[in-house]
Structure 1
Amino acid sequence: MATPSSPFSLLGDLFNRIGERLQPPAWAIHEIQHRVVLFLNHVLQQEPEAQQRLLRQQGRVVRFQWRFVTMELVATPAGLLDLAPEGSTPELTLTVTDDSPFDIARATLRGDKPSVQIVGDVQLAAEVNWLVDHVRWDVEDDLARVIGDVPAHTLGNGVRRVVGALRQFVGDRTARAGGAAGHAE
């Protein structure tokens, strides 16, 4: 007897099929990657310790992979990031093993990191892990530059309440699912 699929698994399957068939042109991928690097460097510039750590990793290449998306970054002499030159050999490859974007979003809402397969230099992996754990984008500060301190703070508080409610919702559903599985044994 076939088990019914959840709407999330159906959406995940649709995402897989679309992603496999609709590959953006190389120029679009390259442009998106440049925008990601600009954003990452903006965030890194707000954290001097992160820049010092990257400075020590200067010239080292890290490849990030998730499904059909790959990006190779290199640490620069300025303690920032850049796209690695074509044909570079990565010293570290980080592959997100969760296929479903919904599983990744659910884990993120719970405050967990997605599952990652790590291949390569352990010390470089530890530095990347430190960056992931300690560097945060101060959205409220950037927004305050555009709309002012008070509206940015008010908007930030509203977003934090929504995220908190979503985390509680996801946590409650996970706890109920775990409890139901425990009773089924």
Structure 2
Amino acid sequence: MATPSSPFSFLDGLFERIGSRLQPPAWAVHEIQHRAVLFLNHVLQQEPEAQQRLMRQKGRVVQFEWRFVTMRLIATPAGLLDLAPEGAIPELTLMVADASPLDIARSTLRGDKPTVRIVGDVQLAAEVNWLVDHVRWDVEDDLARLIGDVPAHTVAGVARKVAGAVRQFAAGKTGQPGSGGASAE
């Protein structure tokens, strides 16, 4: 008997076909990367320890690769990130091994990191790993600046519950009656 394929396998195949044929223009890629750097720096500015660690790595270049997407970042003297200049040679290359964005999303929902192949400076890789493990975006704080503390706390609480439910679903723990105890035979 054949095992049923995932309902998302169609999306994986579609993404593979479209992604390999359609490449965005260079200006769009640069603009998206620039926006990503702005966001990363916003998050880093909320973590003084992260900025201190990046200050010690100033001028060092890290390249991130996933499928056809490549991004080179350089640590600035201010302990933030910037797009590396054209032709900069990376001291560390991090390549995400999972090709499917859905597989990456599933592993992230389970609380796992995607599989990454590391090439280059081990010490720099340890610093990047520390940043990944310890730096988090405080969405509630940013939302409070826009709508106030109480509504932001309420929205964040609902979002945490939804995220927890999605995480349980992704892990296969649906919380169905009778699934958490002894069964009668």
* TM-score clears 0.5: yes
Q: Does 1:90 align with 2:62?
A: no
State the partner residue of 1:36.
36
- Report the CA distance between 1:170 and its aligned residue: 1.4
**1:1-185 equivalences in 2 (<5 Å):** 4-172=4-172
- Report the CA distance between 1:160 and its aligned residue: 0.2
- Report the CA distance between 1:6 and its aligned residue: 2.1
- Report the CA distance between 1:173 and its aligned residue: 5.7
How far apart are the structure 1 equivalents of 2:40 and 2:101? 21
Between structures 1 and 2, the one with greater helix share: 1
How far apart are the structure 1 equivalents of 2:37 and 2:43? 10
SS in 2 for 1:5: coil
How far apart are the structure 1 equivalents of 2:48 and 2:23? 37
Deviation string, structure 1 residues 130-175 (Cα, Å, up to 9, x no partner): 000000000000000001111110000000000101111111269x
SS in 2 for 1:62: strand
How far apart are the structure 1 equivalents of 2:25 and 2:3? 38
Deviation string, structure 1 residues 39-86 (Cα, Å, up to 9, x no partner): 000000000000000000000000000001110000001000000000
How far apart are the structure 1 equivalents of 2:116 and 2:68? 15
User: Residue type of the partner of 2:56?
Assistant: R
State the partner residue of 2:178.
none
SS in 2 for 1:7: coil
User: Residue type of the partner of 2:163?
Assistant: V
- Report the CA distance between 1:3 and its aligned residue: 5.9
State the partner residue of 1:181.
none
Task: State the aligned residue count.
Answer: 174
- TM (norm. structure 2) is 0.91
SS in 2 for 1:114: coil
- TM (norm. structure 1) is 0.91
What CA RMSD, in Å, does the superposition of the two structures yield over aligned residues?
1.4
Which is further off, 4-13 or 53-62? Answer: 4-13
- Report the CA distance between 1:21 and its aligned residue: 1.2
